[in-house]
Amino acid sequence: MPRQKANIDRVFHALGDPTRRAIVERLSEAPISASHLATPLKITVAAVVQHLQILEKSGLVRTTKVGRVRTCRIEPKGFSVAEQWIGERRSMWEKRFDRLGDFLAEPEE
């Protein structure tokens, strides 16, 4: 599997979980520590750390540890993978709609 494809997998899989999206929403407002992330989510810190590992490997989040606190922040570049994938699909079906009428069926075979 090509490297880029594997990354698309990781990104969409990461965004597929509601808790991880809640983390992303939180981090979009401000960087914050792992334990502070956990509090409003009603799950243990251990669970949050597991989510953070997935988010970090997907490139959506970056974390840095200083002292005993791990500060988490959004990695904006990571999201362009998802936006690009959707964008590519969109350009495809828009191209089709240009060639043919929107509502005219053109089933294959």
CB 81 within 8 A of CB 7: yes
Closest CA relative to residue 29, chosen from 82, 70, 72: 72
φ, ψ for residue 74, nearest 5 deg = -70, 145
Q: Is the dihedral of CA 9, 31, 64, 38 positive or negative?
A: negative
Q: Which does 46 bind (CB under 5 to 8 A by kind): DNA, a copy of itself, none?
A: DNA
Shortest Cβ 79–DNA spacing (Å): 18
61 binds DNA (CB under 7 A): no
Query: Smallest distance, Å, CB 51 to DNA?
Result: 6
77 contacts which partner out of a copy of itself, DNA, none, CB within 5 to 8 A by kind?
A: none
Residues that bind DNA (CB under 7 A): 13, 16-17, 19, 33-36, 42-47, 49-52, 54, 65-71
